[in-house]
A and B are shown apart, each in its own frame.
Chain A
Amino acid sequence: GENVEQHPSTLSVQEGDSAVIKCTYSDSASNYFPWYKQELGKGPQLIIDIRSNVGEKKDQRIAVTLNKTAKHFSLHITETQPEDSAVYFCAASNDFGNEKLTFGTGTRLTIIP
Chain B
Amino acid sequence: DGGITQSPKYLFRKEGQNVTLSCEQNLNHDAMYWYRQDPGQGLRLIYYSQIVNDFQKGDIAEGYSVSREKKESFPLTVTSAQKNPTAFYLCASSIGGGALVTDTQYFGPGTRLTVL
Contact = CB atoms under 8 A, between A and B. Distances in A.
Contact of B104 (A42, A49, A103): A49
Contacts of A93: 102
Contacts of B1: 42-43, 45
A94 B101 CA distance: 8
Contacts, number: 68
A31 B43 CA distance: 19
Interface majority SS (helix, strand, loop, mixed), chain B: loop
State which size class the interface on B falls in: 20 to 34
Interface majority SS (helix, strand, loop, mixed), chain A: loop
Contacts of B65: none
A62 to B, nearest CB: 15
Query: Which one of A41, A43, A94 has the greatest number of beta carbons of chain B within 10 Å?
Result: A43
Contacts of A31: 102
Nearest to B50: A98
B86 interface: no
Contacts of B43: 44, 89, 101, 103
Contacts of A6: 42
13 contacts: A32-B102, A41-B110, A43-B108, A43-B109, A45-B107, A95-B101, A98-B48, A98-B56, A99-B48, A99-B102, A103-B42, A105-B42, A106-B40
